[in-house]
Structure 1
Amino acid sequence: MGRVIGFELNSQNPEKAADFYSKVFGWKVAEPHWDYREVTTGSESKTGISGGIAKGPNDYPHGTRIQIEVDSIDESIAKALDNGALIVRDKMEFDDFYLAYLVDPTGLGIGLIENKG
């Protein structure tokens, strides 16, 4: 079962967004890395779903996407395509995980993550 493990807030002004969420909700926002700021929304005593704030790319300039962890990103992409999804960004490789962005048949953007190892 794919589980939601994070979120991504895309903005054309990520500095302003980071400042807003930090001040209003007390989120801890890390310094940017590749135009992506990791966000912690919980604490040890009260967990939350963490995510990030990024400068939105051309294919998704504004909005929120959930990140869904899957066992096999290739199988999940194939199943999603068979069920009407569109690939926004095909499988990308990072140090510890693979990532892809899709749009479901209703137009909602999602990210798929497969952890390595």
Structure 2
Amino acid sequence: MAKKMPVVYWEINALDGESLSEFNEEVFEWETEVSDTKFHSFRSGDPKGINGGIFTGKGTLPTHRALYIEVEDMDEIIERVKNQGQEILQGPFESGNNILAFFTDPEGHMIGLIQRK
């Protein structure tokens, strides 16, 4: 049987994270918490929903929308991505209790990988 690798998180690296967060709060009535780094964490409030976040772009990656897929073995998945000829944009690297990596799919969409420590 195939391993389950669910989508577990989403993020938007925006040009104006503050404004985009306010838009989503108003339109969808989503509640958010804002960190001292201006990262807006959204909680779905529904067990069927997926939590996510919006922030103003910074660092290595360009503005983007990304889904995070939870994996059990980051190295194995990174190798599969490379074997398919796709680019690893960043990582793997540690972030809190997670290991993260980002790659592009064949159409150029960015995908995030997350492995829980």
Q: Determine whether 1:59 maps to 2:61.
A: yes
1:4 to 4, 7, 23: 7
TM-score by length of 1: 0.87
Cα distance change on mapping 1:72 and 1:32 into 2, 3 Å: same
For structure 1, the 5+ residue unaligned runs are none
Per-residue deviation, 1:28: 1.4
Per-residue deviation, 1:32: 2.5
- Residue in structure 2 matched with residue 104 of structure 1 by the alignment: 105
Deviations 1:7-56 (A, max 9, x none): 1112011000110001100111111254422111233xx53111111222
Deviations 1:40-91 (A, max 9, x none): 1233xx5311111122245322x31100000011111111111122111111
2:34 aligned counterpart, secondary structure:
coil
2: CA distance, partners of 1:108 / 1:22: 25
- Residue in structure 1 matched with residue 27 of structure 2 by the alignment: 24
When the two chains are superposed, the root-mean-square deviation of aligned CA atoms in Å is 1.6
Amino acid at match of 2:74: I
For structure 2, the 5+ residue unaligned runs are none
TM-score by length of 2: 0.87
2: CA distance, partners of 1:104 / 1:42: 30
1: CA distance, partners of 2:90 / 2:45: 29
CA contact (8 A) 1:84 1:104 kept: no
1: CA distance, partners of 2:18 / 2:54: 9
Instruction: Map 1:16-95; keep pairs closer than 5 Å.
Output: 16-43=19-46, 47-57=48-58, 59-61=61-63, 63-95=64-96
The sequence identity of aligned pairs, in percent, is: 30
